[in-house]
């Protein structure tokens, strides 16, 4: 008797994303944008085409438009436009700060609407079995309490974005010193991109992980489900293979 067909697990593309969005652009901007290679203008274009193309391809591949993915593509495009137009470095600094700041404001402001953004960002169907956890909250009468807990979690998530805004602005002001359109300026954008994943991403992600852990603990407590039961089906551990119990005559 054949065993039921298993659903394929989604491939983890974290390393692929870092390579395309960070490593390759940094190499192109800092090394290949020299005049003897691509030059500052074409170096900037080449470095930004890859992450933009990857972001658009990911949305088409997954058949889903994620708000954060769109935001990432827009941010990269703005960096390219500002660089090609040779706008002052301050424009990049303010852009780097305003995107996470406005996102933080939007997340907090969405608490006043029927659709809090924290649910769209953290409680996605790619991570959680949303239908199951909603049913469990309803059965235990904890829907109102969960919504109340979301307020504190929202401010925690927003604080990571506000911190990111400050760090992005300071980093851009410290790194971008050269005249736009020059080889040095393009290399500085590459340096800023690379440093951003250390100076900005690590502390911001640390706060987000604390918030995400608090969300998990809240869901486990209010739904009565264990952690694995909360996860989307493709993230759960497959049941152990049973040995063939048939014996030869």
Residue 214: what pLDDT? 92
Q: What's the CA gap between 99 and 19, in Å, rounded?
A: 23
CA distance 29 to 189: 7
Q: What is the structure's pLDDT at 117?
A: 83
Taking only the tens place, the pLDDT of each residue in 106-151 is: 889 988 888 888 887 777 777 888 888 889 989 999 988 998 898 8
What percent of the chain is modeled with pLDDT above 70?
83
Q: pLDDT grade, residue 174 (50/70/90)?
A: very high
| 17-71 pLDDT, tens digit each | 767 777 778 788 778 788 877 888 888 888 888 877 777 777 677 676 555 566 6
- 194 pLDDT exceeds 90? no
Closest C-alpha among 106, 89, 103 to residue 169: 89
Query: What pLDDT is recorded for position 69?
Result: 61
Higher pLDDT, 161 or 35: 161
C-alpha closest to that of 101 among 167, 6, 145: 167
pLDDT tier, 199 (very low <50, low <70, confident <90, very high otherwise) = confident
**Torsions phi, psi of 169, nearest 5?**
-65, -45
43 vs 174, residue with greater confidence? 174
What pLDDT is attached to residue 246?
47
Element (H, E) at 50: helix 39-62
- Is residue 222 within 8 A of residue 146, CB to CB? The reply is yes
Answer whether 82's CB lies under 8 Å from 63's CB: no
Predicted local confidence at residue 64, as pLDDT:
63
242 has pLDDT over 60: no
């Amino acid at each position: 008797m054949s065993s039921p067909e298993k659903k394929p697990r989604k491939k983890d593309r974290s390393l692929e994303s870092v390579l395309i969005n960070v490593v390759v652009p940094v190499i192109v901007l800092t090394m290949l944008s020299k005049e003897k290679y691509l030059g500052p203008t074409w170096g900037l274009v080449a470095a930004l085409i890859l992450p933009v193309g990857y972001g658009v391809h990911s949305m088409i591949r997954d058949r889903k438009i994620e708000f954060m993915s769109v935001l990432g593509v827009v941010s990269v495009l703005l960096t390219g436009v500002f660089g090609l137009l040779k706008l002052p470095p301050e424009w990049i600094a303010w852009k780097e700060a305003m995107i996470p700041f406005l996102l933080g404001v939007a997340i907090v402001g969405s608490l006043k609407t029927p659709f809090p953004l924290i649910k769209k960002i953290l409680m996605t169907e790619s991570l959680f079995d949303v239908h199951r956890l909603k049913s469990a909250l309803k059965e235990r009468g904890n829907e109102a309490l969960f919504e109340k807990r979301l307020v504190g979690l929202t401010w925690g998530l927003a604080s990571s974005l506000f911190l990111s805004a400050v760090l992005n602005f300071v980093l851009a002001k410290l790194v971008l010193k050269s005249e736009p359109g020059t080889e040095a300026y393009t290399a500085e954008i590459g340096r800023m991109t690379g440093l951003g994943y250390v100076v900005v991403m690590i502390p911001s992600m640390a706060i987000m992980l604390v918030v995400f852990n608090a969300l998990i603990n809240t869901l486990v407590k209010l739904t009565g489900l264990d952690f694995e039961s909360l996860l989307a089906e493709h993230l759960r551990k497959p049941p152990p293979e049973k040995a063939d119990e048939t014996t030869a005559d």
